[in-house]
Chain A
Amino acid sequence: KNQVEQSPQSLIILEGKNCTLQCNYTVSPFSNLRWYKQDTGRGPVSLTIMTFSENTKSNGRYTATLDADTKQSSLHITASQLSDSASYICVVSANFGNEKLTFGTGTRLTIIP
């Protein structure tokens, strides 16, 4: 069964600090891995997408890494801001001819001043 597990479930950090969110997956055949940011009551917004051949990708203060051998990904947030408070969702795509997405349950990040 395809699964995506994220840790921690929730995280509270001080504004300006860095943090790293983790994602482990058991999805095959692997196509790509995505990180989304979801503000409360809003739709998810894409941060990064990585295929099998990409092991790091940045989007401003967000940097995602992918280790396809260990089936792990991380999302590093640098110099956190209050606006980073949101849920971060890891999503893995499998391709059986038709694409199938498996969603993690998310990490709830709270930035405090």
Chain B
Amino acid sequence: DGGITQSPKYLFRKEGQNVTLSCEQNLNHDAMYWYRQDPGQGLRLIYYSQIVNDFQKGDIAEGYSVSREKKESFPLTVTSAQKNPTAFYLCASRASGIYNEQFFGPGTRLTVL
């Protein structure tokens, strides 16, 4: 899990509620990412940020929002507009270099009741 932490590990939400997933890294990486993982599917990119105060939509951004006020933090809010939010959410940060390797956090499992 390296220097990336995600909290909480498990999260339960009622329909119609917004929830915020936390992601913190102490690796001094500029770029951070949010992915969603569903059974039988590859990871899908929700949002990414390459620098503080800037972020871009990924492939499945609808129903999600993010902020990047600090280099170390990249929280993800799952809004009530997300139709099927139950999934495993992974945060990652990227090292600069020849490989641009991404390091993943331990994940948050969100279940909508």
Contacts and interface: CB of A to CB of B under 8 A. Distances in A.
A43 B100 contact: no
Do most interface residues of chain A lie in helix, strand or loop, or is the interface mixed?
A: strand
B98 A43 contact: no
A48 B51 CA distance: 26
Contacts of B98: 51
Contacts of A105: 40-42
Contacts, number: 51
Contacts of A93: 100
A43 B40 contact: no
Contacts of A14: none
B45 A101 contact: yes
19 contacts: A31-B100, A32-B99, A36-B104, A41-B88, A41-B109, A42-B106, A43-B106, A49-B99, A49-B101, A51-B98, A89-B42, A89-B43, A99-B94, A99-B100, A103-B42, A103-B44, A104-B42, A105-B40, A105-B41
B25 to A, nearest CB: 12
Nearest to B105: A43
A45 interface: yes
Interface in A68-113: 89, 93, 98-99, 101-106
Contacts of B109: 41
B102 A101 contact: yes
A41 B102 contact: no
Given A32-B99, A32-B100, 19 more contacts: A4-B42, A31-B100, A36-B104, A41-B107, A41-B109, A42-B106, A43-B1, A43-B105, A43-B107, A44-B104, A46-B101, A49-B101, A51-B98, A51-B99, A99-B100, A102-B42, A105-B40, A105-B41, A105-B42
B55 interface: no
